[in-house]
Every structure is written in structure tokens, then in C-alpha cells.
Amino acid sequence: MTRVLVTGIRGKTGVPLAGLLTARGVEVLGGSSDPGRVALAGVRPVPFSWDDPSGWSAATGAADAVYLIRPDRPDAPELVAALLDATPAGAHVVLLSERDADQVGPDGWAVRTERAVRGSGRSWTILRPSWFMQVFTDPRFYRDRLLDDGELPFADGGARVAWIDARDIAAVAGRALLDDAHSGQVLELSGPESLSLARTAALLSAALGHPVAHRELTVEEAVAGSEGFERELSVLTFERVRAGVFSAVTDDVERVTGRPARSLARFLADTGPALGRPS
Ligand SMILES: NC(=O)c1ccc[n+]([C@@H]2O[C@H](COP(=O)([O-])OP(=O)(O)OC[C@H]3O[C@@H](n4cnc5c(N)ncnc54)[C@H](OP(=O)(O)O)[C@@H]3O)[C@@H](O)[C@H]2O)c1
């Protein structure tokens, strides 16, 4: 039986990926820094934390493939290189990076992280997704602003975003983990349409049943309250949004999975009551 380590098993792509893999009879090791909270059918929780390298060999040791969520911290290139050193030489590695990552981060941080994977001696596939639709249901991002203030504050500068459903990223990851055909490929992933923030707010209004207004922010306003590396990365991300990096629509989801990427309207309809807070 194929065995796959999925890091970030409780996250936006980890949960749907676990479902897809277990449905195909794959043994899924669910990596989490809090394994006691992993409750996914068919998934074997394993301790995995970027802060505790002593547990890495146990987590990766028996895996045929590894789904790797890039840790968004300054030492990501070094951490990823060290983790892959502790990964079996024959394992295939799928890295979750981000759209057009050649331009991201201080001193080419994202490029160096991708390079750690490319140079690891393991076969690899790199996924570069646009912004996830799931930011609208995540309290760390926009959920509470949408629900409490009826507002979508965003530093878009008039640019559009081709939001992608994390379920489609998971579907691509599932193929890449199990099928050699995608080895050595960099897949640029987007949703099926490029939406203005006003149009995005209109779709959210219809789904939530109350008005949501887009409020244009400056980059300074958008990153207020963050500091250090996180702030640097957020500034660059919004500058990239404004430059239109996340607006391009690609057909990589359909090419890899054989079906079109889900639209924002479809995501909102499928999410239904979960658009609100858990009761
Ligand atoms: N959100 C977007 O729109 C977007 C767009 C493009 C790319 N990305 C990339 O996608 C990745 C994840 O996105 P996200 O921020 O939305 O997060 P997420 O998928 O919601 O979850 C991130 C995961 O990180 C795990 N984690 C937290 N602390 C950890 C630690 N110390 N060691 C190991 N794992 C830890 C968490 O699981 P446990 O608590 O169980 O450990 C969680 O499942 C990031 O690399 C981001 O750059 C995101």
C-alpha cells in the first residue's frame, strides 16, 4: 500500500487531500504539531512540527511520498532542506508554494525554498496556487470582517484575483503525489475566473444574505499590526496583488485533474452554513 505523509493535515488543503487519498486506498500519515486534534477518518496522526526536528525522521521515515506545506517563516529554505535530508531517497515530494513564486520574499526566500526541494535529490512537483477561496471562511483572514462588519477590506489597487478553491489544490496534489507524470513540473494553479474585489464582494453578499462592501486599503493599512518577517511578506504579497500576479487564469487544474476548477459561486454554495461561525 502506498503511504503518504501529509503535513498540515488539519489545514485548508490537508483536510480535502486526506479525503481524496484515503478514498483511493492510500495510507495517510497526518502530520500535525498537535496530533491529538487530528480526527479524520482513515488518517493515522503523526507528530510533525517545524520546531522539533527530532520527530522528523519518524514522520517521514516510512513514507513513499510527502506533501509539504511551506512554513511561512524566514528559515523555511533551511528547514525544508533539512526535512528532505531526513526523508527517504525514493520518496516523491510535492511542495505547496505560491503563484509565480520567482518574485517572492526577502532575498528570494520563496525561490530558495523551492530550490531546496529541487536540489534535494528526491523527485518533486511544485504547486503554485493563487489566493485560496477559504480565506473567506478563516477567522485568521476575512471571516469575521465579512460577518461582523459586512466589509471586505483588501489592498488590491483595482487588480483582480483568480481565487482558487483549496479542494482543487488538494485534487492536483493528490494526482502529483501518486502519479509520476507530474514529476519535475511546476504547476501554476488558479480558479476559473479572475474577479474584481467588487464582484467578489457581490458574490459574498449573495451567499451570506447580507450586504458586503469591498473597501480599498493601502498596503500600509492592510499590513497594520504585523511586524518583522510576517509584515515584509504581507507587504510583498499585496504589492504582487496590485501588480496583477494573482489575476491570471491558468488551466493547470483542469489539465491535471481532468475537470475545470471550481468557481467562487460554487465554493460559496457548497460551503453553505459553514460560511458563518461554527455553532
Ligand atoms: N491562504 C492563501 O490564500 C494561500 C495562497 C497561496 C499559498 N498559500 C500557502 O499555503 C500554506 C498554508 O496556508 P494557510 O496559511 O492558509 O494555512 P492552513 O492551510 O490553514 O494551515 C496551515 C497548517 O500549518 C500547520 N502548522 C502550524 N504550526 C505548525 C508547526 N509549528 N509545524 C508544522 N505544522 C504547523 C497547521 O496544522 P497543526 O496546527 O495541526 O500543526 C495547519 O494545518 C502556506 O505555505 C501559504 O504560504 C496560502
| pLDDT digits 0-9 by tens, 164-180 | 999 999 999 999 999 99
CA of 187 to the centre of ligand 1 (A): 19
33 to 144, 171, 174, 197, 232: CA distances (angstroms): 25, 24, 22, 34, 25
Single-letter amino acid, residue 175:
R
| 257, containing H or E segment | helix 252-257
Asked if residue 98 has its Cβ within 6 Å of ligand 1, the reply is: yes
Average pLDDT, integer, range 26-51: 97
- pLDDT at position 79 is 98
Q: Which residues contact 23 (CB under 8 A, 6 or more apart)?
A: none
Ranges of H-type helices in the chain: 14-23, 56-60, 76-85, 109-118, 143-144, 166-178, 197-208, 219-222, 228-242, 252-257, 264-271
Ligand 1 pocket test, candidate residues 94, 99, 132, 134, most atoms within 8 A of CB: 132
**Which residue, among 279, 252, 4, has the nearest Cα to 130 in the 3D structure?**
252
* Protein residue with its CA nearest to atom 33 in ligand 1: 49
CB contact at 8 A, 18 and 6: yes
* Protein residue with its CA nearest to atom 36 in ligand 1: 8
- pLDDT at position 74 is 94
CB contact at 8 A, 78 and 70: no
C-alpha cell recorded at residue 92: 516523491
Out of 1.10.10.10, 1.10.3720.10, 3.40.50.720, 3.30.365.10, which CATH number does the structure's domain 3-275 have? 3.40.50.720
- pLDDT at position 102 is 86
CA of 137 to the centre of ligand 1 (A): 14
Q: Which residues contact 224 (CB under 8 A, 6 or more apart)?
A: none
Confidence of residue 272 (pLDDT cuts 50, 70, 90): confident
* Protein residue with its CA nearest to atom 40 in ligand 1: 32
* Protein residue with its CA nearest to atom 32 in ligand 1: 49
- pLDDT at position 108 is 87
% residues pLDDT > 90 (the chain): 94
Residue with cell string 488558479 = 190
Average pLDDT, integer, range 237-260: 97
**Which residue, among 87, 85, 88, 114, has the nearest Cα to 99 in the 3D structure?**
114
- pLDDT at position 179 is 94
- pLDDT at position 104 is 74
- Strands, DSSP E only, in the chain? 3-6, 27-32, 43-47, 65-69, 92-96, 123-129, 151-154, 185-189, 213-216
- pLDDT at position 226 is 96
- Res. 1: pLDDT tops 80: no
Integer Cα distance of 210 and 276 in angstroms:
12
C-alpha cell recorded at residue 105: 520574499
Asked if residue 19 has its Cβ within 6 Å of ligand 1, the reply is: no
- Res. 240: pLDDT tops 80: yes
Asked if residue 51 has its Cβ within 6 Å of ligand 1, the reply is: yes
- The average confidence (pLDDT) of the chain is 96
| pLDDT digits 0-9 by tens, 96-150 | 999 999 877 667 899 999 999 999 999 999 999 999 999 999 999 999 999 999 9
- pLDDT at position 106 is 61
CA of 133 to the centre of ligand 1 (A): 14
Integer Cα distance of 179 and 218 in angstroms:
43
> For 17-21, 22-26, 101-105, 234-238, which range has the lowest pLDDT when averaged over its residues?
101-105
CA of 183 to the centre of ligand 1 (A): 23
Bridge-based pairing of strands 65-69 and 213-216 is unpaired
| pLDDT digits 0-9 by tens, 59-76 | 998 899 999 999 999 999
- Res. 216: pLDDT tops 80: yes
